[in-house]
Amino acid sequence: MSKELYFDISSEQSGGSLYRITEAGGQVSFLYDHSTYNDDADLVEVFKTSYASFADFWKVLTANAEWFYLHPLYVHPEQRTFIMQQLQSVNWNIHPDPRWQNSHRRQWDKVLSDPAGYYRPGL
């Protein structure tokens, strides 16, 4: 079995790393190691969620109408074109401050143009 970082994203309240898992027989699945933080209770909860495909993970992530205001840290090169296309149809004006909008756009641009091996935390 091999485990490869595929997508990494965070916010003040949650975040996680999605890994592509390839079994010895070639079967591929995805594992999302993620957590949430409740500031009021000062409580961190940690989860592991399995997905059969990246599309399944993406559907859950984008159920949050403001997914593009999360802080991306890494996107696997295989998904960069797809995510660039997804970002073209978002409403950045959800937050009225242009500096806030530009800050998040720059972070997506940076992550989507970084060299493939730029962000490789220890597995």
Q: What is the pLDDT of residues 59-109, one digit of tens each?
A: 999 999 999 999 999 999 999 999 999 999 999 998 889 998 899 999 999
Which residue has tokens 């699945």? 29
* pLDDT at residue 1, rounded to an integer: 87
Evaluate whether 92 touches 105 at the Cβ level (below 8 Å): yes
pTM, entire model? 0.89
Element spanning 9, H or E: strand 2-10
3-state DSSP percent of the chain in helix, strand and coil, to 5: 35, 35, 30
Distance CA 29, CA 34 (A): 16
- For residue 93, the Cα-to-chain-centroid distance in whole angstroms is 21
Q: Select the more confidently predicted residue: 116 or 78.
A: 78
What is the share, in percent, of the chain residues with pLDDT greater than 70? 94
User: Can you say how many angstroms the Cα of residue 103 is from the centroid of all Cα atoms in its chain?
Assistant: 17
Question: Residue 16 CB: number of other CB atoms within 10 A?
Answer: 21
Strand partners, 37: 44
Contact, 28 vs 98, CB < 8 A?
A: no
Give yes or no for residue 37 having a pLDDT over 70.
Answer: yes
